[in-house]
């Protein structure tokens, strides 16, 4: 088998010798968002943020449209779903190649996450050691809440990582309370576990979550979005906390 019959070698030749730097940034942005297809407008938004943040691109040109035309039928394809344009790689092995290259290029990963628009772009690289540190920094300064998501509300991820990294920072008290309340407007799998874990006694005491516990309307709204089997467990736990608080 010749060198260029190997898919990885084919894409190596394409990425290194045949396309430009801005095209590689386009492909890396696409990879950061999905393994399949992503809406055209989302990809455009993220690509423009990336090139503005890193390159200070030439605003007299529509670099995104130029890139789509140049890469179509070579590395990407466009499909239409109910009239909405969605973009993905031409061949799954392209994603394999990009993944392999990025996993040994921390500088490029940092460029991607520093210019991320969506939390999914960060989570794509959560297996990379320094990304945890990046997430912690964005938690502590609250800026992670500025990221968009493709589905589950950003408040979910905010609370999830507060719990996972055991973040105790008084400056986050209002953000945490507001995130809990905002999530009562949504329903999705995993909500119950998140609520139960954020009402752990150490978080309750440190972030003064008692104000939520004694607010009947807020507690009813929280419970209303929980899985039915978890409601009893949660109420028993909360009642126990209230009793201990009243005794102390």
The number of distinct structural domains making up the chain is: 2
Task: Classify residue 133: in a domain, yes or no.
Answer: no
pTM exceeds cut of 0.85: yes
Question: DSSP letter string over 192-204?
Answer: HHHHHHHTSHHHH
Q: Does residue 108 share a domain with residue 38?
A: yes
Task: Classify residue 244: in a domain, yes or no.
Answer: yes
pLDDT in tens, 148-204: 999 889 999 999 999 999 999 999 999 999 999 888 777 666 778 888 899 998 999
Q: Does residue 156 share a domain with residue 122?
A: no
Contact 219, 185 (CB under 8 A): no
Task: Classify residue 141: in a domain, yes or no.
Answer: no
Domain extent for 88: 1-126
Q: Does residue 179 share a domain with residue 58?
A: no
Q: Does residue 187 share a domain with residue 118?
A: no
Q: Does residue 53 share a domain with residue 9?
A: yes
Q: How far is it, in rounded angstroms, from Cα 119 to Cα 97?
A: 23
């Amino acid at each position: 088998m010749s060198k260029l019959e190997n898919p990885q070698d084919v894409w190596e030749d394409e990425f290194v010798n045949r396309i430009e730097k801005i095209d590689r940034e386009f492909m890396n942005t696409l990879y950061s968002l999905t393994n399949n297809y992503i809406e055209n407008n989302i990809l455009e938004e993220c690509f423009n943020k990336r090139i503005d943040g890193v390159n200070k691109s030439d605003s007299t040109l529509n670099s995104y449209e130029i890139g789509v035309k140049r890469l179509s039928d070579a590395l990407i394809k466009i499909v239409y779903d109910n009239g909405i344009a969605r973009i993905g790689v031409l061949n799954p092995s392209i994603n394999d190649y990009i993944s392999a290259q990025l996993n040994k290029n921390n500088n490029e990963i940092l460029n991607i996450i520093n210019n991320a628009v969506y939390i999914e772009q960060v989570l794509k690289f959560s297996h990379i050691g320094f990304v945890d540190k990046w997430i912690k920094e964005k938690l502590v300064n609250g800026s992670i809440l500025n990221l968009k998501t493709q589905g589950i509300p950003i408040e979910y991820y905010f609370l999830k990582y507060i719990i996972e990294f055991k973040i105790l920072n008084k400056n986050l008290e209002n953000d945490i309370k507001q995130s809990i309340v905002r999530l009562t407007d949504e329903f999705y799998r995993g909500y119950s576990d998140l609520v139960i874990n954020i009402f752990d006694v150490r978080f309750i005491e440190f972030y003064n979550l008692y104000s939520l516990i004694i607010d009947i309307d807020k507690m009813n709204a929280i419970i209303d979005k929980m899985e039915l089997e978890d409601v009893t467990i949660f109420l028993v736990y909360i009642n126990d906390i209230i009793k201990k608080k009243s005794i102390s």
